[in-house]
A and B are shown apart, each in its own frame.
Chain A
Amino acid sequence: NAGVTQTPKFRVLKTGQSMTLLCAQDMNHEYMYWYRQDPGMGLRLIHYSVGEGTTAKGEVPDGYNVSRLKKQNFLLGLESAAPSQTSVYFCASKWAHKADTQYFGPGTRLTVL
């Protein structure tokens, strides 16, 4: 049981390049989330999904797209990376009940030059 995993762990991009971050969970969770963490700040929600085939915007969605084609995977895409997207990205998942706790992945450190 691996929990929540994220690929890759580190990445360096040049401005304008694109990439996709992969989040996978093996707990059969319905809900999945993408957050970013910037220095001196808590995590902020980018996008989330309440089930396979669904996505919704969070607090800071601009410049990102997401897809949830399979229940266990949640992809975060950057079509044209900008230096302002340099951050640590966390994925999380939880079961459907509103009382349930989110479980986090180990994070991906992304640097955009």
Chain B
Amino acid sequence: AQTVTQSQPEMSVQEAETVTLSCTYDTSESDYYLFWYKQPPSRQMILVIRQEAYKQQNATENRFSVNFQKAAKSFSLKISDSQLGDAAMYFCAYRTGANNLFFGTGTRLTVIP
């Protein structure tokens, strides 16, 4: 069974600083996709970034980047130049094939002004 583990229930970062959120996963598949979703207090699930497992290059989206270590089954999210609007729950998710997304339990990020 696929599992996704986020070992940091809460994290905090000073505004304008950098923070890294950790995620590890367990799978026997070779072809899969990894995602980071942001959930602000509005509850809306917002895609932050995604990574295809077959791509060696780490994905980046503006201030968000990932460190994808396939052999270690690790997929961390780095947020640079943190902003107050980055405060939210962040969920790591794994998907194989076309369907099921498996989510971690989330990391609550607080941004300190």
On chain B, the residues within 8 Å of A50 by CB distance are 98-99
A: number of interface residues (CB 8 Å):
27
Closest chain B CB from A81 CB (angstroms): 21
Task: Say which size band chain B's interface belongs to.
Answer: 20 to 34
Interface residues of A in 53-102 (CB under 8 A from B): 56, 58-59, 88, 90, 92, 96-99, 101-102
| A45 to B96 alpha-carbon distance, docked (Å) | 14
Contact A88 B47 (CB under 8 A): no
Interface residues of B in 12-69 (CB under 8 A from A): 33, 35, 37, 42-47, 50, 52
Residue of A48, A59, A90, A98 near B45 (CB, 8 A) is A90
Contact B101 A45 (CB under 8 A): yes
Contact A45 B105 (CB under 8 A): no
On chain A, the residues within 8 Å of B46 by CB distance are 104
On chain A, the residues within 8 Å of B4 by CB distance are 42
| A90 to B43 alpha-carbon distance, docked (Å) | 9
Residue ID in chain B nearest A42 by CB atoms: B103
